[in-house]
Amino acid sequence: MSEFKNGTKKVFVGPFVQSKTLKELEICKDGIIGVDEEGRIAFVERSTADVEAALKLHGWEKVEVIRLKENGFYFPGFIDTHIHASQYPNAGIFGKSTLLDWLNTYTFPLEASFSDVARARAIYNRVVSRTLSHGTTTAAYYATIHVAATNLLADICLAHGQRAFIGRVCMDSAIAPDFYKDESAAQALAATRESIAHIRNIDPTHAIVSPIITPRFAPACSPDCLAQLGELHRETGYPAQTHISENMNEVKLVGELFPDARSYAHVYDDAGLLTDKMILAHAVHLNDDEVALVKARDAKISHCPASNTALTSGTAKVRKYLDYGIDVGLGTDVSGGFSPSVLEVVKQAVWVSRHVAMEAGDAVKLSTEEALYLATRGGAKVVGLAERIGGFEVGMDWDAQMVLLNEVQDMEGHGEDEGPVDHFGWESWEDKVAKWVYNGDDRNTVAVWVKGRLVHKTSRYQS
């Protein structure tokens, strides 16, 4: 990207919004954030619009100044803790299916087609540029079983500058379809190692792309495969991701396939996979014993409300997990989830919490602030990068989006038509944020940075 000037310091001038805690947003109306040559936040000034003074204070001279010239704010980049990059072409296609028939009808045939690397290139380029356009600065991706296509996804994320975890999918059990499966546990392991080696080669420090060990989910993996992936997880220290307890029929199936395991969560624990570097997607139907185990192991939960609703999987009890102190982030779960937008999933998390509240009472509702926390700071904890991303703190990387709202400019009601959010001018800052969350979309995200690098911009972006 031509905008990326290594060795140039940048200062971002204008309002910024970020999660301070689960329940509290910080809204700073006059912010100046300095980002160093490495893309790290060097200072955060909260009470001046005087750029010269701020630069002088920090001894900075030659810098690029990015100013928010319209009504809007900087917001931390979104973290998508669960997304199947390969399923992107099926986003929105699910019919009346539920998990297990959905996999066979829609998902496995599409994923199998990634043996064609040219096809994989078209799809992966598109999903990475799309998710960047929605403000996703970090994604935990599932690819497919194909090493070549999986490695290509890593290449594409690195080229686009999207921070990503790249998972070569392992699935060797009898329930995986004949046309799309690993021949054996050994082959699943060898392919995983091959993909890890590629990613180490293209990004040795994992500044942008990292491997992630990816047993698809317990029913698709032999006990041997799970155990070997658990050993690889321990040996390499690379994170892991899988699915858990998404659908009642799946839970039943796990009981049949793993009769000796105390629970679904114990299947992973028995294999050495339930660690503080494991991302568990869904966690809709965990029993209390499992919740306690997840907490004891400090494993992470990726909440995927859009998917859980679309596939009628159930409603994850997020308030309960938060009350237990479990780290929770949000996942689009494309294409069980219909949208590649984390902002859409922020809304869906709020909606699902309201449906839970209709049964369990208002206390379990997630607020807008809480859902935004899950999409940023929560997600950062889930992917193991809480010190580096998710907020605007000195020492963190500048993974951020510039959000603009539309101003209704005169009393005839005219105004810009470049986005879905109308701002009449009398709104409070809290209302502006709410309008963005509930009616905003990728049109409002006019620029996106990862590690200080401009990785997406729209025609509305003016620096």
- Residues in contact with a copy of itself by CB under 8 A are 88-89, 91-96, 98, 118-119, 121-126, 129-130, 133, 309-310, 312, 314-315, 338-339, 350-351, 354-355, 357-358, 362, 365, 367-368, 408, 410-415, 417, 420-422, 424, 426-427, 431, 434-439, 441-442
Closest residue by Cα to residue 275 from 250, 293, 255: 293
Q: How far is the CB of 71 from a copy of itself (least distance, A)?
A: 15
- Angle among Cα 19, 297, 379 to the nearest 5 degrees reads 25
What separation in angstroms does the CA of 359 have from each of 285, 310, 315? 16, 20, 11
Q: Where is 17: in which H helix or E strand?
A: strand 9-21
In this complex, which beta carbon is closest to a copy of itself, that of residue 58 or of residue 126? Answer: 126
Q: How far is the CB of 252 from a copy of itself (least distance, A)?
A: 16
Q: How far is the CB of 364 from a copy of itself (least distance, A)?
A: 10
Q: Phi, psi (5° rounding) for residue 425?
A: 105, -15
In this complex, which beta carbon is closest to a copy of itself, that of residue 62 or of residue 96? Answer: 96
In this complex, which beta carbon is closest to a copy of itself, that of residue 115 or of residue 125? Answer: 125
Q: How far is the CB of 341 from a copy of itself (least distance, A)?
A: 8
In this complex, which beta carbon is closest to a copy of itself, that of residue 160 or of residue 181? Answer: 160
Instruction: Give the Cα separation of 172 and 183 in Å (integer).
Output: 6
Crossing angle of helices 429-439 and 342-360, rounded to 10°:
100
First to last CA, the chain: 15
Instruction: Give the Cα separation of 285 and 349 in Å (integer).
Output: 16
In this complex, which beta carbon is closest to a copy of itself, that of residue 168 or of residue 435? Answer: 435
In this complex, which beta carbon is closest to a copy of itself, that of residue 274 or of residue 310? Answer: 310
Q: How far is the CB of 377 from a copy of itself (least distance, A)?
A: 20
In this complex, which beta carbon is closest to a copy of itself, that of residue 258 or of residue 338? Answer: 338
Instruction: Give the Cα separation of 154 and 140 in Å (integer).
Output: 11
Q: How far is the CB of 186 from a copy of itself (least distance, A)?
A: 33
Closest residue by Cα to residue 21 from 448, 390, 402: 390
Q: How far is the CB of 309 from a copy of itself (least distance, A)?
A: 5
Instruction: Give the Cα separation of 66 and 85 in Å (integer).
Output: 32
Q: How far is the CB of 354 from a copy of itself (least distance, A)?
A: 5
CB 297 within 8 A of CB 276: yes
Instruction: Give the Cα separation of 81 and 330 in Å (integer).
Output: 6
Residues 6+ apart with CB under 8 A from 350: 365, 366, 367, 368, 371
Q: How far is the CB of 139 from a copy of itself (least distance, A)?
A: 16
In this complex, which beta carbon is closest to a copy of itself, that of residue 55 or of residue 99? Answer: 99
In this complex, which beta carbon is closest to a copy of itself, that of residue 189 or of residue 316? Answer: 316
Q: How far is the CB of 150 from a copy of itself (least distance, A)?
A: 16
Instruction: Give the Cα separation of 85 and 128 in Å (integer).
Output: 8
In this complex, which beta carbon is closest to a copy of itself, that of residue 138 or of residue 341? Answer: 341
Half-sphere exposure (Cβ direction) of 62: Cα atoms closer than 13 Å? 5
Residues 6+ apart with CB under 8 A from 127: 83, 85, 88, 334, 340
CB 392 within 8 A of CB 33: yes
Residue 434's Cα: distance from chain center in Å?
Answer: 21
